[in-house]
Amino acid sequence: MVRQLALLAGLMTIATASSVRAGECDTVAANLGEQIPQIQVSDRVASDQTVTVNLKHPDAAELSVTCTNNDVHETAQLTARWDATWPPSRFYDLVAAAGAVVAAQREPAIRGGAVLCAQRAMTAEGSTAVYNVNRTHFECTTTTGVGASTRIRISKLRQEIPPQ
């Protein structure tokens, strides 16, 4: 009986945490839709640990907000992709506006961080760069050639992660 109660309490905790993160993702996606013209919700995908709200905007091949239940370091994560190695300025404008909402930072700071991260990815071995500044996490990947793309992920850090 005690074991069953402990299991039930554990499941309730997981369900509560899951719904909190799902609510966070839905709120961030709604805020993006309110603050940025042309953003539309495409669909919402949920699993036990992750909720992803896929968005549409003409200045990104991919745009989504993802929340992971077991991530203790980051809040909601914005992912934006452009289908070329060198995205145009309008892509970075969108990343700056959406990233500012997700990371609770100013647009110029997010734009500068995104551009710097993408530039670092272009010269990095493995074509991936990770960049943390002012409690904002940037992760960028670039590819070249046929099917080239630039992907930028932005999230707000719950706490500073010490450099490795």
Q: What is the pLDDT of residue 72?
A: 63
Mean pLDDT to the nearest integer, 1-7: 35
Torsion sign over Cα 115, 66, 53, 121: positive
Type of residue numbered 15: A
> Could you report the per-residue pLDDT of 102-159, keeping only the tens digit for each?
999 999 999 999 999 999 999 998 899 998 988 999 999 999 888 899 999 999 987 6
**164 in a domain, yes or no?**
no
Q: How far is CA 15 from CA 25, 32, 51, 106, 127, in A?
A: 15, 26, 13, 33, 37
**43 in a domain, yes or no?**
yes
**108 in a domain, yes or no?**
yes
Q: What is the pLDDT of residue 161?
A: 55
**163 in a domain, yes or no?**
no
Considering the chain, what is the average pLDDT of its residues? Answer: 84
Radius of gyration of the chain (CA): 17
**115 in a domain, yes or no?**
yes
> Could you report the per-residue pLDDT of 48-64, keeping only the tens digit for each?
889 999 999 999 999 99
**162 in a domain, yes or no?**
no
Range of the domain at 82: 2-157
47 pLDDT exceeds 90?
A: no
- pTM score: 0.82
**98 in a domain, yes or no?**
yes
117 φ/ψ angles, rounded to the nearest 5 degrees: -60, -45
Least confident of 26-30, 46-50, 71-75, 98-102: 71-75
Q: How far is CA 130 from CA 66, 84, 134, in A?
A: 18, 20, 14
When divided into structural domains, the chain yields a total of 1
Mean pLDDT to the nearest integer, 11-33: 66
> Could you report the per-residue pLDDT of 136-149, keeping only the tens digit for each?
999 999 998 888 99
**31 in a domain, yes or no?**
yes
Mean pLDDT to the nearest integer, 60-72: 87
Percent of the chain with pLDDT over 70: 80
